[in-house]
Amino acid sequence: MTYLLALDQGTSSSRSIIFDVHGHVVESEQQEYRQLYPRPGWVEHDPRDIWHTQLETARRVIVKAKLQASDIHALGLTNQRETTLVWHRRTGQPIHNAIVWQDRRSEPACAALREQGMEEAILSKTGLRIDAYFSGTKLQWLLDNVAGARELARQGELAFGTVDSWLIWQLTRGQVHATDASNASRTMLFNVRDNDWDADLLKAMNIEASLLPRVLPSSARYGSTHPELLGHAIPICGVAGDQQSALFGQACFEEGMAKNTYGTGCFTLMHTGSRFQTSQNGLITTRTAQAGAQVEYALEGSVFVGGAVVQWMRDGLHAFEQSRDIEAMAHSVPDSGGVVLVPAFSGLGAPYWQPDARGTITGLTRGSTMAHIARAALESIAFQSTALLQAMNLDAVAAGAAGLAQVRVDGGASANDLLMQFQADLLGIPIVRPAVIETTALGAAWLAGLGSGVYGDRHELSRLWRADKTFTPQISRGEAAAHMERWNRAVAQTSLPHPHQDTP
């Protein structure tokens, strides 16, 4: 039997999963690590925590599966994107904690880029909007605020990387400084059309080119793990950012195919083939995982609060003890009774882009119960995802492509049948849940399998992908439109003046 090891380095935990050649999960291990909040709006990780938890889970999962490292044919790596690290090339020691993708400290640097009129250039070259979310201004902040960092960078003594680069460096004991195209495309420094770091953007952010990793396809030979780490040298043959890896693991290889990951937030990607398309509907353009020489793109949008609304009901409202209990509570009523919950706890993401929006619950009556609110909470995830997918559909049609035919789903909340059925009802197309919902890790394993010769091509992977359940629309398009109109009215109320915003 051939085995592939996927390292899945996430925002709150590190996981390692072993897959067999058929794409089945053999064993998995997971370990959480510390979240650091030094100031309001700042989010950090200790790079050593990232590395040690990832290494420990890799060691444990091999033992748990009753295998040796020599039984692992290749290793694939997927990671939280945009999180930014800088370390000393000679010692491998980080110069500062990692600045996490959620961190907003570099907003002043973003404002300066806007004032310089850089929006159009950055959008055209990178597909991204100027935002502190991305890595470029985080790196700029580190160079400006860590004592001696700029001088060391000028001397070529420092290395920058997203989490994948940091782990590759550690796994190879400093022999390889590299990233893949999908992670590079999230830095706001990488020209996704030219497939290279952009000199003009580096100059605009005052970043030395010597800091940057080499950019490889997502399926390629990145070197091998040092034999002392896992007991045997394992080839590293696949690397991709988590959302692009999930798109790959869902076998969404063709233009017009889309996936939605239902996690703490929701991340939706639609493959646009070899066409670089700038969205007219509030989305960004990103590179897909690159399996060969062909450069391909996707439209992407994010819902800030997806499954997190369930956690809020559990921990904030104490509506139930376990997150999974929400489905039974929501099922206890036939519908939401007119209640609409908009979980704009930290503003609204795509396609609204309303950072000052605040959460609302509308439609309450004397007969409203916690069960109605629970149902409205679940429905809010589908409502937000529908708005996002409808925006993607508009972009696709405007580009002359076919509209969405189905959406493939994954992530924890995709196990909720009530939510998935409501999603299908709103969109009016099938929602397909795969047999293996660990699609982020599966994508990394498949990329490693392609890069090491286990699989011949993506057609072989398409045949391995299997559906578990398909949800088809059960209501008329008129009913779906009425639901969305009710949702849009509630969204409009999230931007009404709040007491702390009142002016004399």
CB 349 within 8 A of CB 302: yes
In tens, the pLDDT along 312-341 reads 889 888 999 888 888 899 989 999 999 999
Tell which CATH classification among 3.20.20.70, 2.40.30.10, 1.10.1040.10, 3.30.420.40 matches the domain 308-384+481-496: 3.30.420.40
Q: Give the confidence band of 502 by pLDDT, cuts at 50, 70, 90.
A: very low
Q: Quick check: 75 pLDDT over 50?
A: yes
pLDDT score for 133 = 85
Q: What is the mean pLDDT of residues 348-366?
A: 84
pLDDT score for 416 = 86
Q: What is the mean pLDDT of residues 42-66?
A: 96
Q: Higher-confidence residue: 389 or 401?
A: 389
Q: Give the confidence band of 135 by pLDDT, cuts at 50, 70, 90.
A: very high
* C-alpha dihedral (76, 80, 84, 86), degrees to nearest 10: -30
Taking the C-alpha atoms of residue 460 and residue 442, their distance in angstroms, rounded to an integer, is 14
Decide if domain 3-234 falls under CATH 2.170.150.20: no
Q: What is the mean pLDDT of residues 117-122?
A: 93
**Encoded amino acid at 431, one letter:** I
* C-alpha dihedral (455, 461, 463, 464), degrees to nearest 10: 90
Return the SS3 of 201: helix
pLDDT score for 305 = 81
pLDDT score for 497 = 54
Q: What is the mean pLDDT of residues 230-249?
A: 96
Q: Quick check: 130 pLDDT over 70?
A: yes
Residue ranges of the chain assigned to CATH 3.30.420.40: 3-234, 308-384+481-496
Q: Give the confidence band of 350 by pLDDT, cuts at 50, 70, 90.
A: confident
Q: Quick check: 397 pLDDT over 70?
A: yes
Q: Higher-confidence residue: 290 or 496?
A: 290
pLDDT score for 17 = 97
Q: Quick check: 196 pLDDT over 90?
A: yes
pLDDT score for 436 = 87
Q: Quick check: 500 pLDDT over 60?
A: no
In tens, the pLDDT along 452-472 reads 999 999 999 999 999 999 999
| Strongest mean pLDDT among 218-232, 278-292, 348-362 | 218-232
Q: Quick check: 498 pLDDT over 60?
A: no
Q: What is the DSSP string of 106-150?
A: THHHHHHHHHTT-HHHHHHHHS--S-TTSHHHHHHHHHHHSTTHH
In tens, the pLDDT along 168-191 reads 999 999 999 999 999 999 999 999
pLDDT score for 504 = 35
Q: What is the mean pLDDT of residues 422-445?
A: 94
Q: What is the mean pLDDT of residues 25-47?
A: 90
pLDDT score for 174 = 95
CB 235 within 8 A of CB 259: no
Q: Quick check: 26 pLDDT over 80?
A: yes
In tens, the pLDDT along 260-300 reads 998 878 899 999 888 888 888 888 899 999 988 889 999 99
CB-based burial of residue 32 (10 Å sphere; 0-12 exposed, 13-18 middle, 19+ buried)?
exposed
CA 60 to chain CA centroid, nearest Å:
25
Return the SS3 of 168: helix
